[in-house]
Structure 1
Amino acid sequence: MNTIPKMLEREIKFHVPPRRRAGLKARLRKLGADSINLHARYYDTATQRLAQAGIALRLRREGDDWIQTIKLPGPDELSRIEWNHPRPEPVLDLSVYDGTHIEDLMAELGNRLICRYITHVTRLKKEIPTASGVAELAYDEGAILAGSLALPIHELELEGVSGTAADLFALSREWLHKHELILELRSKAARGDALASLEMGSQGDTQATALKLASKGGKLSRLPALGVEHVLRLAAPARAGQVLLATDANLGAAYLECANDCAGQIIRNSSFLAGVDGMKTSHEQRIEYVHQIRVGIRRLRTCWQLFGKAAQYPETLLQSLKHHFQIFGQARDLDVIQTELLPRLIQAGMPPNTAPKTLEISDTLSARAGLTAAPEYQQVLLDLMEHLVLYGDNLPTERALNKHAAPQLCKRLNTWLSDIKNKAPEFLEADWDERHMMRKRIKRLRYGMEFSQGVLDPSRLAPLRNSLMSAQKALGQLNDLYVAAEYYRGAGAKHSSAMFALGWLAATQDHEAQASHMALQSLSKAGRFSPAPIKARKPKHN
């Protein structure tokens, strides 16, 4: 049984779409939910030292009481270490952290902390039983405010008070389907920090807004709309992180670090595409969300292949992700034709007035958003998070996962590399399907290398990394030509420019195939992967 420790706050957060808010509130009231106004002030330095360390510090008024809370990174995306201290007034007391592992940091930052943003919400909350304990449901409506900017809040949090994490996920799954919720990984602190970063130097305005809200009994006026430039930054597509494993990392911990990075990339882009925060994202942003979701899924599948049996992922989860990967792939192919190949075709001489201006892309944008917001897809994301959370909870009892990751990862990478080397000489004679498979092998090896780079010998890594990047770029360009040719032989055959496009694509394919062959030859000469010398980590003192 995976019980939730008292200091560990584990909560699953969902954005509530507009059409589902009234029904969700009515259900909570029917359950006997209490209503409370919460006003919080979040503190950090002007250079965001706490945020950079994954720490959130706030003072929150709960009814007539003030509570000082600090939240520190937990073992997974849904968990934080939380310490609460009652305060007689809205003034920070950093002495409560004396004797903890953050004592020196808080002492250093003490006189530099400022109120960077505030939140004001009305919360409906109710504790309900689960199969093994109790969970708290909290629906928040309100806003995050930083200077003159505001971000609306409409979210449901399900927090485990007691019982197993599996039962918290089961309850979350039921509410997700009933109210068509959207999984949200960003905390209020993460969103507030991003909002405050757009309003540098506005801490005076933010503090004044907090005092004004207090004097008005916490009443919010109409929220100002975010500008296009704000949305571009607040809803920027989430890209792959920089995973750097410790040289002595064990298999279980290494897998979690890699897989959680992939899950974050998939879920964050899915949330933006589904329309969290009500932001009107641009056409280009939505195109990039689809691309990054597919990159995240491909990276995760590579992660599962790299770690093999140690990953212990559910087969049903793999099949669900593969299904959605293929659906998003159809939209991505059209995006590539529109944004990358059409400009090249026009530059090559295809009359602009005969080139399809939007193809079928505009017709698929709403379909993509609808797909990511659908409960069936959101459940896949929730299932992914459940797998990772329960995996992490079970790590202490899994002895087989405590051995060093470096030998297995290095062996697997060299096996993949040998497979590429063996097939590279026949590339020019291979058909499209086999060339496409070669591209998949190159991507898999590159992602696997990026996951493993912390445990690999850096002196041997550079030539392999450079060769892999060159091969992936060349094979990617070749694949785009094949995709475009398929389009112009199929759905795009009706366009008056189709024959011109097919002729140019056929001629260009020969050139790109030669470039791909040369890149594969270079990779074959770049050496092999070797593990880095293991450096034991210094013990941590709390």
Structure 2
Amino acid sequence: MADSCSPSREIEIKLDIDPSDALELEALPCFSGEEERQRQITVYFDTPKEKLRRGGWVLRVRQVDGRFTQTVKCSGSPIPIERDEWEEEISGLRPEAKAIARTPLGDVLKGRQIRQLTALCRCDVERVSRTVANGKGSFELTYDQGLVEAREACEPIHEIELEMKAGNLEALFASARRIVRQVPAKIGVLAKSERGFRLADGRINAPVKATPVVLRARMSVAEGFATVAAACLKHFRMNEPLLIAERDAEALHQMRVSIRRLRSAFWLFRPAIRDAKVEAFEDQLRRFTREMGAARNIDVILASLPLDDPARGNLEDNRKRLYSRLIRKLDSRSFRLFMFELFAWVQTGKWRSSKKAMGPLMPFAIKRLDRLWTRINRKAEGLGRLSDVERHKLRISTKKMRYAVEFLAEPFRNLADERARFVNAAEGVQDRLGELNDLATRQELLFGHAHETDRKFRSRHLRAAKRHFGKLRDIGAFWGRYEA
């Protein structure tokens, strides 16, 4: 690699806002200062095999007022608040090999790959920016509106960015908080590049599944929790618009999964994240899970009923009512603030300075897995004698275990085969106990009427759950063989 240029550290918070609410921004004191307007045309590039995206890199060229700037960014966080970036002025709207060589991408891309770089998406936005100072620092406040385009598809962009120039992250969140309290803005979880890549992949207006969490063995406990929590919040926010716009059942399911995963992270990291706020966050997440669960239960029952079943009418009316309540909640000021405060707490909460939070991730996580495994193993011995409620609690514990092991996939890469078999067995247990729970819920929603086929299915699912538990216990606590 040629002599490299030094990176700068970008620290920013994104907020999404509906264009119909954008006029409210002008009434805010922070938007009343002297402004600068510019049109930005930005093109994002990757290799044909998407080597940069898979490696967590972003390569873009931006045109402003006839000048071209090539930027390389890298971040391991699902919601990149802090990123290293390398910028250099170049001669046109295409990456230049010499400028790439002066960044870490010079060691990532070969000469042939640089020549094969292809434009994947393009953003054309009008940016209005101001420099704003508060008592603890200063930041650049921008409002971007325009389009991101890829493969003849496009999507509007309306987002607020707060980029720190001086001060600390707590001060930046304090400024963002004042905006969220006064206008209907929500935490933004997608960079412009990610929006464009989704368009290029044809994944717009479709439910989004959870993506793998990448934890590094040398992380601290605080870094581990923040990474997992950010991934869960991103999963939630990426499905939220589809639920609101189309009442999509799969989007609701994915949002519920995201909160379940987040609550599992709260359990896994609980000894390190205890502070004055954690119980309130857990309580609100628990209540919101129940609200989503009520709607999800009806979706599951409706999917199993014939179209001419007389019970459908009442269930469909209840579905409309529950979905309307959920959508009102998602759009409410109180819920927007809750999600913002949760994200701010994850990133800057006092819990991060505790001794356990600053300790190494893997010894901590392994102790937590041991504790949960003991509980699961003890309950599984008497599976056939458990009540519906007890089996449901066992299912939740198994789900926590599965999610925790999935979170730790990268540190457990040397135990990948055992981890995969453990996760598959845990998923089998979860699915079969879930079927039993669905049968119990179906009976409750259908006024206590159990069909003969339900009783047969119950016996079948119970036997299958026992088989999967047998596989799970045969594999056992494989993490005991972890070596740093």
Q: Give how far 1:191 is off.
A: 1.0
- Equivalences for residues 34-433 of structure 1 within 5 A: 34-73=36-75, 77-87=80-90, 89-106=92-109, 108=111, 109-198=113-202, 233-243=203-213, 245-247=215-217, 249-274=219-244, 281=246, 283=247, 286-312=248-274, 314-315=277-278, 316-339=280-303, 341-342=304-305, 346=306, 352-356=308-312, 358-390=316-348, 400-401=356-357, 403-433=359-389
* Post-superposition CA distance 1:120-169 (Å, at most 9, x none): 11222222222311122211111112342221111122222221211211
Residues 460 and 528, structure 1, Cα contact 8 Å, conserved in 2: no
1:194-247 Cα deviation digits (max 9, x unpaired)? 22334xxxxxxxxxxxxxxxxxxxxxxxxxxxxxxxxxx213333233345455
Shift in CA distance, 293/251, structure 1 to aligned 2, threshold 3 Å: same
Deviation, structure 1 residue 475: 0.2
Q: TM-score, normalization: structure 1?
A: 0.77
- Map Cα deviations across residues 307-355 of structure 1 (whole Å, 9 max, x no partner): 332245631222222222222121111111122x32xxx4xxxx82534
- Partners of 1:471 and 1:516 within 8 A in 2: yes
Distance 1:246 1:88 in 2: 38
Q: Helix, strand or coil: the match of 1:294?
A: helix
1:24 aligns with 2:25: yes
Distance in 2 between residues matched to 1:244 and 1:531, nearest whole Å: 21
Residues 54 and 451 of structure 1, relative CA distance in 2, 3 Å threshold: closer
Using the alignment, how far apart are the partners of 1:470 and 1:268 within structure 2?
27
Note closer, same or farther for the CA distance 1:431–1:29 as it changes in structure 2 (3 Å cut).
Answer: closer
Q: Quote how far apart the aligned CAs of 1:172 are.
A: 1.3
Matched, 1:527 2:476: yes
Whole-Å separation in 1 of the counterparts to 2:470 and 2:130? 63
Q: CA 1:49/1:311 → structure 2, altered by over 3 Å: closer, same or farther?
A: same
| C-alpha contact 2:272 2:354 (8 A) present in aligned 1 | no
Alpha carbons 1:143, 1:152 under 8 Å: kept: yes
SS in 1 for 2:270: helix
- Equivalent residue letter for 2:225: Y
User: Residue 206 of structure 1 aligns with which residue?
Assistant: none
Q: Pick which of 168-177 and 59-68 moved more.
A: 59-68
**1:516: which partner in 2?**
465
Deviates further, 439-448 or 107-116: 107-116
**Deviations, residues 65-115 of structure 1 (Å, cap 9, x unaligned):** 333322222655323222332345545433234344222335533222233
410 and 360 in structure 1: CA distance in 2 versus 1, 3 angstrom threshold: same
Partner SS, residue 394 of structure 2:
helix
- Tell me the residue number matched to 1:219: none
Root-mean-square deviation (Å) = 3.1
Partner of 2:16: 15
Partner of 1:436: 392
Q: Which amino acid aligns with 1:513?
A: L
1: CA distance, partners of 2:95 / 2:255: 41
The amino acid that maps onto 1:445 is M
**Secondary structure of 2:108 counterpart:** helix
Report if aligned partners of 1:248, 1:534 keep a CA contact under 8 Å in 2: no
For 1:381 and 1:263, the matched residues in 2 are separated by 8
| CA contact 1:182–1:373 (8 Å) conserved in 2 | no
Q: For 1:295 and 1:475, how far apart are their aligned partners in 2?
A: 16
Conserved 8 A contact 2:47-2:114? no
Determine the structure 2 residue equivalent to 1:220.
none
Q: Which has the larger radius of gyration?
A: 1
Separation of aligned partners in 1, 2:419 and 2:42 = 48
Residues 220, 361 of structure 2: 8 Å contact kept: yes
Q: 2:7, 2:84 within 8 Å by CA — same for their partners in 1?
A: no
| Residue identity in the other structure for 1:477 | E
CA separation in 2, counterparts of 1:458 and 1:532?
12
User: Is the 8 Å Cα contact of residues 267 and 381 (structure 1) preserved in structure 2?
Assistant: no
Deviation at 1:474, TM superposition (A): 0.9
Structure-2 separation of matches of 1:156 and 1:444: 35
User: What letter is aligned with 1:376?
Assistant: S
**Normalization by structure 2: what TM-score?**
0.86
Query: CA separation in 2, counterparts of 1:446 and 1:502?
Result: 32
Distance in 2, matches of 1:6 and 1:289, equals 39
Q: Deviations over 1:335-379 (max 9, x none)?
A: 11122x32xxx4xxxx82534163532344343333223232222
